[in-house]
Amino acid sequence: MNSTPQQFTASEINPLQSLDEWEDDVLRRYPDPDAIATAKAKEAYRNYDAPARDTVAEFYRLNHQYQTYDFVQQKSADYLRFGRKVMPVWDAFDFLNQLVDDSDPDTDLDQFQHLLQTSEAIRRDGHPDWMVLVGLMHDMGKVLCLFGEPQWAVVGDTFPVGCAYSDKVVYPEYFSLNPDFTNPKYNTELGVYAKGCGLRHVTMSWGHDEYVYHMLKDYIPEEGQYMLRYHSFYAWHREGQYGHLLDDHDRKMEKWVNLFNPYDLYSKNPTPPVWQELEPYYRDLIKRYLPDTLRF
């Protein structure tokens, strides 16, 4: 029998029409500085209408309310055993692409196209090939949705749990709904952490960043691991918050996270890259860095 005290409709659990709605909102908050000076800016804002904003607000309400310290411990213990699926890397892209948004014919390109556009923009600028690989893989963790996780446990800006929230995290007012907000164990500036302990000792809200970091950490240089793990931690890399948790190593690595971020945000292009021309390069890249199969 169903023991859930409350029944939720699908749209109540997952208010976003597609995961892109979150990313469009990030782009609204951090617009492309190059586009601002041009007519492109107007075009870029076209999609940010009021209804989308409401669903994003509702999405963050759920995210901030339910991402407790205990919730993250549970999800980490479950998912970081990587016991769900073993897939060849190329099958994993097809699997990820099942996350299509049928509801909006005008919607963005599929998940793989976003990854490919990110990696191609990195490659065009002559960055090391491991960073191209990071571009190609950075959102693979969104497969969490396909394992039944709600949107608020997959995407959204990430933030430390187990200590007080910064008011520079988007929609900070919703944190008062989180039980940790009034728990004296978790609601002081340092909470469960020691000053300057380093981000590797900090538990972040659960989502696609943490998951893909653990999936790939053995195959990618540390600079790339930081890009994977903290790419949605905007309160740190864009807003300069949580300095009391950082150590010297984090401060050294931050520039790599900042180097990566614009490629994630600003590489979207309605003209898809021609995959047939790019395939040999990517087949070789993946062969050099990754095992034949990935565990999920």
Binding site for Fe ion (CB under 5 A): 139, 264
Comparing CB distances to Fe ion, the nearer of 180 and 223 is 223
Pick the closer one to Fe ion by CB: 190 or 259: 259
Q: Least distance from C-beta 114 to Fe ion, angstroms? A: 6
**Nearest partner of 15 among 144, 157, 150, 146, judged by Cα:** 150
Residue with Cβ nearer Fe ion (139 or 210)? 139
Contacts of 201 (CB under 8 A, 6+ apart): 193, 194
- Residue partners of 99: CB distance under 8 A and separation at least 6: 19, 111, 142, 143, 145, 146
What is the distance between the alpha carbons of residues 266 and 248, in angstroms, rounded to a whole number?
A: 29
Residue type, 233: F
Quote the CA–CA distance of 58 and 15 in Å, as a whole number. Answer: 6
Considering the complex, what minimum distance in angstroms separates the CB of residue 228 from Fe ion?
A: 9
Q: Minimum Å distance from CB 138 to Fe ion? A: 6
Number of residues that make up the chain: 296
| Token couple for 63 | 């995210």
* Of 193, 192, 156, residue with least CA distance to 175: 156
- The least distance separating Fe ion from the CB of residue 61, rounded to whole angstroms, comes to 20
Closest distance of CB 118 from Fe ion, Å: 6
Q: Smallest distance, Å, CB 212 to Fe ion? A: 8
For Fe ion, give the closer residue by CB, 144 or 286: 144
Which residue, 223 or 264, is less far from Fe ion as judged by CB? 264
Of residues 17 and 187, the one with the C-beta less far from Fe ion: 17
Per-residue CA distances from 3 to 6, 150, 153 (Å): 9, 19, 22
Closer residue to Fe ion (CB): 59 or 193: 59
- Taking the complex as a whole, the smallest distance from the CB of residue 182 to Fe ion amounts, in Å, to 31
Q: Shortest Cβ distance from residue 139 to Fe ion (Å)?
A: 4
Nearer to Fe ion, 24 or 180 (CB): 24
Backbone dihedral angles phi then psi of residue 186, each to the nearest 5 degrees:
-115, -10
